[in-house]
Amino acid sequence: MTETEINIAIAEKCGLKELCDCEHSSPSLSMCDVCRGRLRPNYCRNLNVMHEAETTLNQFERDTFLDYLEDDAEQYDEDERWHVCNANARQRAEAFLKTVGGWKS
Mean pLDDT by 10 residues, the chain (105 residues): 88 74 52 55 93 95 94 78 89 96 91
Phi and psi for 31 in degrees, rounded to 5? -145, 135
Cα distances (angstroms) measured from residue 24 to each of 18, 40, 49: 16, 12, 21
Query: Are 19 and 39 spatial neighbours (Cβ–Cβ below 8 Å)?
Result: yes
pLDDT score at 80: 81
